[in-house]
Amino acid sequence: MNPIGLMFLDGTALLAGLALALGAGALFTRFGAGILRPILTLLLLAGLAMVLLSAVPLPGWLYALWILPAVAVFVLGNMSRASSLLRFRAFGVLFAATAILLLAESPRLRTPRLRIDAGQTVYVVGDSISAGIGSGERCWPEVLATATKLRAENLAEPGATIQSAAAQLRRITEPGALVLLEIGGNDLLNRESAAAFAAHLDELVSGLRATGHDVAMFELPLFPFQNAYGRAQRAVAKRHAVALIPRRHFARVLGMKDGTLDGLHLTQRGHDEMARRVAALLRIDAARDSEG
C-alpha cells in the first residue's frame, strides 16, 4: 500500500498533520507574510487536511478547539499588516491546542497487554479477515495457536457482521475464555449507520462480558470521515472494560507488502504477521495454570 494511504488508514496522518501545521505556523509567526508565504500556506493547509481526514475518533469539540487557532494562524500569516505579537499569540493558542489533542489521543496509542492462563482458550470472533476465503492459507488464529501453544478456536465466518456474529458467540463453550473480536469491517463496507453499528456492537460485547469472558477488540482501520464508527468502538470498549487494540496493528498488516490477496483478504504472509502481532500482546501466565 502507498505509504501516504497507509498513514490515513492507520491514523498516523493525525500526528503528521499536527506536526506539519505546527511547523508551518511557527515559520509564519517568525517570518510573517514574506517570500515564504505561498509555501507556508500550502504546508499549513496540508496539515489541516491531514488532521481532518485522519478519521481519528476524537470528540468533535477537540477538533474545533484545534481548527480555530490553526485558521487564525493561517489568516494572520497572510495579512501583511498583522502584528508580530498577534501572530505569536495565535501560534501560542495553536501550540496549546495541539498539546491538548495529543494528550487526549496518546492513551489510545498504547498497545494493551492481554493476560491469559496457559490453559485458557482463545476464541476469535470475526469475518473473512480471520476466516480466510478458501484460498489455502493457514489463518492467523491457527498460526497463533502453533506459535504460542495455546488452544485457539477460530469462530470467524466470511461475510460476518457485528449482528450476525452473535451466532458465533453460541459456539463459545468454555467459561472465562479470552475472546478476540475482529469484526465490523463488513458493517462499514455495507454502510451500516453509525448508530446501528454502535447498538449492535454494544449488544455483542455486553453479552460476552455478562458471561464472564475477557474481551479484546481490534480497532478498525478507518477511511476519512468514518470517525463515528471509531467513536462507537471506543465508547463500547470503555463501557465494558474491553481492551482495544490500536488500529495501526490491523492497518499495517493490510498495508504491508504482499500482505493481502486483493487489498483486504490476507495472504499467508499477512496471516503470519497478524498472528505475530497478536502473540506479542499476550502475557501467558503459566503459574496460574499450574495452581489450577
Residue 54 has a pLDDT of 94
Label each residue of 243-273 as H, E or C: EEECHHHHHHHHHCCCCECCCCCECHHHHHH
Count of C-beta atoms within a 10 Å radius of residue 180: 29
Read off the pLDDT of residues 174-187 as tens digits, 9 standing for 90 and up.
888 999 999 999 99
Cβ contact 289:151 at 8 Å: no
Query: Residue written as cell 465508547?
Result: 235
pLDDT for 291: 40
Structure confidence at residue 38 (pLDDT): 85
CA distance 228 to 105: 15
Phi-psi region of 184 (alpha: psi -120 to 50; beta: other; left: phi over 0): left
CB-based contact 28:40 (threshold 8 Å)? yes
pLDDT at 29: 81
pLDDT, position 3: 81
Sort 85 into a burial class: Cβ within 10 Å, 0-12 / 13-18 / 19+.
Answer: exposed
CA–CA gap between residue 63 and residue 60 (Å, rounded): 5
Angle value at C-alpha 216, between 131 and 155, nearest 5 degrees:
25
Segments in the chain below pLDDT 50: 287-292
Q: Which of 254, 263, 282 lies closest to 141, judged by CA?
A: 282
Instruction: Look at residue 175 in the predicted model and tell me its pLDDT.
Output: 87
pLDDT of residue 289: 42
**From the CB of residue 12, how many other CB atoms can be counted at a distance below 10 Å?**
20
Look at residue 286 and give its three-state secondary structure. Answer: helix
pLDDT at residue 34, rounded to an integer = 67
